[in-house]
Amino acid sequence: MSKTTFVVFHINLPGSRIDVVPHARGTRPDYVAMAALAFQSAALFHPGCRRLILTDETTAFPGLPDEVELVRRPIDAAKVMYERMRSQLALIRERGRDTNLLFIDADMLINGPVDSLFARDLDLGLTYREHESMPINGGLIAVPRHGHAVAAAFLSRVVDVMQTRYADSLGWYCDQRALIDTIGRERFARRPLDLIDVDGARVALFPCDTYNYTPGNHWRNILARSPRRRIIHFKGQRKRLMRPYWELHLEPLTGVRSSSTRLLRVLARSTAEFLVSNKRAD
């Protein structure tokens, strides 16, 4: 198995609050710290993996570990999802021949081995969920080394769809809309298996429930670890749960002793959250 490169895209967006990002509230999370945690979790289950951030020409990454490579290119922040896909496509063309590539969001934790995302019978791996308009989640794209050329051709068509059909909405969600358009909604709905042929590209569809799992937005939802959830996605307000999950369940696997104080802290927050919700219900 070729060494895998885990890739995060991040740029600083204009504004001091996270209201520029859909479905998030409050002040901007520390994306550099989240990306560092994502990479730590990747190295836990894939020792020796490479770690890389795609970014613009100015975003700073204070405190980023030295082993994380930065790849910079000009980025139009107003077209963030379009630019992310273009940056991913460029990296596939430049390095896909030499390494498996796993593109993940900064707010994801690797919760187990993900080798099956790079099986020999696929050219590209995506994750799907129950969502009528956008069943493909753009936060995870797996490109096995042996399929990089076909994957690049497929994603090039996705970029073309973004340009032609969604030119007025290149900031958010255009990637997810273009992905399902390129696959074909009818082909997706009628697929007999989760490995489908899209104009010669073998596209594997993995369930989000396993490889892009979003936990409930409550402290109690991180009290237990479920190893079958190989990748956990702390979307939106769940970002506050990412570090506590790491400290409770994954950091002890590195040899750091689990602290009862950490568990008590999460239990206390979970109890307080439960009491507040009950009080509101009354």
pLDDT digits (tens, 9 = 90+) for 94-105: 999 999 999 999
Q: Is the pLDDT of residue 22 over 90?
A: no
Q: Give pLDDT tens digits for 165-201.
A: 999 999 999 999 999 999 999 999 999 999 999 999 9
Q: Please name each of the domains of the chain with its CATH number.
A: 4-281 (3.90.550.10)
Residue 123 pLDDT exceeds 60: yes
Q: What is the mean pLDDT of residues 149-174?
A: 97
3-state secondary structure the chain: CCCEEEEEECCCCCCCEHHHCCCCCCECCCHHHHHHHHHHHHHHHCCCCEEEEEECCCCCCCCCCCCEEEEECCCCHHHHHHHHHHHHHHHHHHHCCCCEEEEECCCEEECCCCHHHHCCCCCEEEEECCCCCCCEEEEEEEECHHHHHHHHHHHHHHHHHHHHHCCCCCCCCHHHHHHHHHHCHHHHHCCCCCEEEECCEEEEEEEHHHHCECCCCCHHHHCCCCCCCCEEECCHHHHHHHHHHHHHHHHHHHCCCCCHHHHHHHHHHHHHHHHHHHHHHC
Q: What is the mean pLDDT of the chain?
A: 91
Question: pLDDT grade, residue 18 (50/70/90)?
Answer: very low
Q: What is the pLDDT of residue 277?
A: 62
Task: Tell me what pLDDT residue 16 has.
Answer: 44
Predicted confidence at residue 19, as pLDDT, reads 40
**Residue 117 predicted with pLDDT over 80:** yes
Instruction: Identify the pLDDT of residue 17.
Output: 41
In this prediction, residue 143 has a pLDDT band, given cuts at 50, 70 and 90, of very high
- Looking at residue 253, its amino acid is L
pLDDT in tens, 258-275: 666 666 777 777 677 666
Confidence class of residue 1 from pLDDT cuts 50, 70 and 90?
very low
Q: Average of pLDDT values for 16-38?
A: 70
